[in-house]
Amino acid sequence: MNINGLIESVLGSGSTGGRNQGARNQGGPAGPASGLPGGLVGGAAAGGMIALLLGTKKGRKLGGKALKYGGLAAVGGLAYKAYRDWQTNRPSGTEADPLGLPKPPADSGFDIDNDRDSGGQDFRLTLMRAMIAAAKSDGHIDKAEHERIRAQIDQLGLGAPEKAALFDYFSAPSDPAAMAALARSGEQQAEIYLASALAIDPDTAEEQAYLDALAGNLGMPEGLRDHLDLEAGAARRQAGELA
């Protein structure tokens, strides 16, 4: 499976390498660097399928900007920073450039590029599933919008395995218990929660309830969620300034 291509189609420009790589990839997800076709609808051209999914929320500002600018690299860096702050009782969310945090050390448990989930698969796919589940958690996707998303997936130029994976991820219910069960370590628990928090701006009761249920099912240590929420909030604020 072409995992990099799949991630690029979901998150958009720079999704595999973070904000600095995204700045170099001026073509965006429809440009020559990704090999994806142009003509995607609305925000999906710049922000991937997450942008399309969130953009269907009537009257709502497009969410997921931190993922657009920081990519999956931001998830590992922010989760590692929050985890270390929690361990050492230091404040979180105060750094000047939360989306530009350095890549965590290889032996830290937060090295997303080389990590695996509980089934031995690339952990980046787990994070992608977590983001999509969170983005759908307020139940705003109706039958017509499901068909619209499926039509856009058909236009992405992906291979059969990648297309099938996207259909599965977008069709699956938002189940916080199922997402939590994919973690095999405390570090992965933190990353799944943070990726979910970054995928949305929890401005509805349904979204907040989803994050509460996810945190409960993950069983994270007391206080860690607060640090993760602070880092996610800092990343969202910075992404808003960059937009």
| Short-list 196, 186, 199, 207, CA closest to 48 | 199
Q: What is the mean pLDDT of residues 55-83?
A: 74
| Short-list 55, 72, 61, 91, CA closest to 234 | 91
| Short-list 152, 113, 122, 95, CA closest to 21 | 113
- C-beta neighbour count of 235 within 10 angstroms: 28
* pLDDT at 243 (0 to 100): 67
* pLDDT at 46 (0 to 100): 40
Contact 51, 62 (CB under 8 A): yes
Answer whether residue 168 shows pLDDT above 70. yes
| pTM, two decimal places | 0.82
* pLDDT at 216 (0 to 100): 97
What would the DSSP string read from start to end of 159-220?
A: -HHHHHHHHHHHHS---HHHHHTT--SHHHHHHHHHHHHHH----SHHHHHHHHHHHHHHTP
* pLDDT at 16 (0 to 100): 52
| Short-list 66, 65, 68, 97, CA closest to 81 | 97
What would the DSSP string read from start to end of 88-154?
A: HT---S--S-GGGPPPPPTTSS--GGG-B-TTSSBHHHHHHHHHHHHHTTT----HHHHHHHHHHHH
Task: Report domain extents, the chain.
Answer: 3-242
Per-residue pLDDT reduced to its tens digit, 191-225: 999 999 988 877 788 889 999 999 999 999 999 99
Contact 182, 129 (CB under 8 A): yes
Q: What is the mean pLDDT of residues 85-93?
A: 97
Answer whether residue 37 shows pLDDT above 70. no
| Short-list 215, 125, 108, 121, CA closest to 172 | 125
Residue 196 one-letter amino acid: S
